[in-house]
Amino acid sequence: MKVLLNGYQIIINLFDMKFCLDATFIKPEKGIDVSNAIVLFHGYGGDGTDISMLSLNWKRFMPNTIFICPNGHEPCAINPSGYQWFDLTQNNPQYILEQSLKAEKKINQFLDEIKKEYKLKNDKICLLGFSQGCMMSINVGLTSNESYSCIVGFSGKIIDKENLKNRKKNSTNILLIHGDLDDIVPSTHLLEAKDFLIRNNVSIETHLIKNSGHHIPIEASSIALNYILKKI
């Protein structure tokens, strides 16, 4: 299905077509080949269309990039109109880890389909996520057999440090950005993630945005864009 969003053509792929997840695709202009991809993972209760707004500001700087914004594989438990990568209704770390690992399998299947469809390798793909999507991007990115071009995360954390340490297979470069007033995922998680990643030989860049809560402000979007342009 094709729709117009802020003047851009958005291609929405339905579940029963080529890919295992519903997704919003923002493709290069007609006649321009795809040379790389940014896969954007939304937060808890959101959807692919929500996070695709980032691409509308970035598209002109990356004419050969396809922006792919999948919906979570499950309806959100507290917002049926949105989606989740894993359930948060139980305050049980082991349960959350198990649910996130199920999401990883689905995301990896989706990424394999994307790579096949667009003939891309990992080093031509950036994984980006907000909040719960950031958590999934880190886990999926660092447990892959091959490094991705980069991982960019906003307002997230590491789900289970010991589990990730044991499964880590590469050292993809990572950018993490957090608001200092985030009351959903406190900014202390940024420092914890930085310490963990440095200890595990991952090149990490972090930014703490002043007077910012649990969202992606313009300053964070600009920092992320400049970082990705150097990597992809």
**pLDDT score, position 17:** 63
**pLDDT score, position 14:** 41
User: E strands along 8-133, which residues?
Assistant: 8-13, 23-26, 36-41, 65-70, 74-75, 83-84, 125-130
Mean pLDDT calculated for residue range 49-66? 95
Mean pLDDT calculated for residue range 62-88? 96
Q: Write out pLDDT tens, residues 152-198.
A: 999 999 999 999 999 999 999 999 999 999 999 999 999 999 999 99
**Does position 73 have pLDDT exceeding 90, yes or no?**
yes
Lowest mean pLDDT among 9-18, 89-98, 216-225: 9-18
**pLDDT score, position 15:** 41
pTM of the prediction? 0.94
**Does position 116 have pLDDT exceeding 70, yes or no?**
yes
Both tokens assigned to 129: 């996520």
Give the percent of the chain with pLDDT over 90. Answer: 89
**Does position 5 have pLDDT exceeding 60, yes or no?**
no
**Does position 147 have pLDDT exceeding 90, yes or no?**
yes
SS3 state at 175:
strand
Domain boundaries 2-231, corresponding CATH code: 3.40.50.1820
* 10-32 b/e (C-beta count within 10 Å ≥ 16 → b): bebbeeeeebebbbbbbbbeeee
Both tokens assigned to 74: 């499950």
Q: Write out pLDDT tens, residues 7-57.
A: 555 554 444 368 999 999 999 998 999 999 999 999 999 999 999 999 988
**What does the domain layout of the chain look like in residue ranges?**
2-231
What would you measure as the largest C-alpha separation in the chain, in angstroms? 50
